[in-house]
Amino acid sequence: MTTLAAAPRAFAADDKVAPPPDLFDAQGLDLEFWLKPRVLSVVRPQSGEKAKVLFWQDGQLIDSAYQELCHILRDVNGRKTAAIDPKLLDTLWGTQAYCARFGIEQPLEILSGYRTPESNLRLIEQGVPAARQSLHIKGKAADVRIARLTPDVLGGLVRSFRQGGVGFYYREGPKGGWIHADTGLQRTWNG
Ligand SMILES: [Zn+2]
């Protein structure tokens, strides 16, 4: 008899005998995790901004905090703020909160969030990896890094939330690579 190990777990409230979650697999998270207040701690290396923002509590997005996060994830070059998909914020928060369970409490570095079409085109012209129809233009993507986590580990965790696409950008050097996370179709690639 075989077990369908790949089947997604149901989050049953009376699931007392559930095994501990596998390291860095978000599918093992329980309902309690998702009901906690969501505080995102971010830095924007490009502008030097830092923020720790409680953006979701008691089942609701907190509008002023949401606006603040949209501002932090703005197009710093193009100086334009746009709406960021709240689902993306949830995935970023979930990633950070999950890491915190293992004592990894660094802020999430936002390398890129929303991009104007002009900024995105400029990146392509400069040879920076960027898609022409990038989800950054729609406020549905962010390029992120967490200090000490490799793209493999961070990207594997982001992917395990099953909320959209994940790009793994491996780079040499002290800062290492980064991860592209979006709320589009579930897919992965190396860039
Ligand atoms: Zn990206």
DSSP H helical segments within the chain, as ranges? 31-35, 63-72, 86-100, 117-125, 151-160
Distance CA 16, CA 145 (A): 34
The radius of gyration of the chain from alpha carbons, rounded to an integer in Å, stands at: 17
CA 143 – ligand 1 centroid, Å: 5
CA 86 – ligand 1 centroid, Å: 17
Q: Residue 3's pLDDT is what?
A: 39
Burial class for 67, CB neighbours closer than 10 Å (0-12, 13-18, 19+):
middle
Q: Residue 10's pLDDT is what?
A: 36
Which pTM value belongs to this model? 0.85
CA 17 – ligand 1 centroid, Å: 39
Distance CA 142, CA 92 (A): 9
Burial class for 122, CB neighbours closer than 10 Å (0-12, 13-18, 19+):
middle
Give me the residue spans of the domains in the chain. Answer: 37-190
Return residues with CB closer than 5 A to ligand 1 (ion).
Answer: 141, 143, 180
CA 15 – ligand 1 centroid, Å: 37
CA 144 – ligand 1 centroid, Å: 8
Q: Residue 131's pLDDT is what?
A: 85
Could you give the C-alpha distances from 62 to 58, 139, 140, 146, in angstroms and in order?
Answer: 10, 18, 19, 25
Tens of pLDDT along the chain (191 residues) come to 433 444 333 333 343 443 334 467 898 888 999 999 999 999 999 999 999 999 999 999 999 999 999 999 999 998 999 999 999 999 999 999 999 988 889 999 999 999 999 999 999 999 888 888 899 999 999 999 998 888 988 999 999 999 999 999 999 887 889 999 999 999 999 98
Distance CA 15, CA 130 (A): 43
On whether the 37-190 domain is CATH 3.60.20.10, my answer is no
Instruction: Say which residues have a Cβ less than 8 Å from residue 56's Cβ, sequence separation at least 6.
Output: 37, 38, 62, 65, 89, 90, 93
Task: Tell me which DSSP letter residue 102 carries.
Answer: T
Both tokens of 66, joined, read 């949401």
CA 146 – ligand 1 centroid, Å: 15
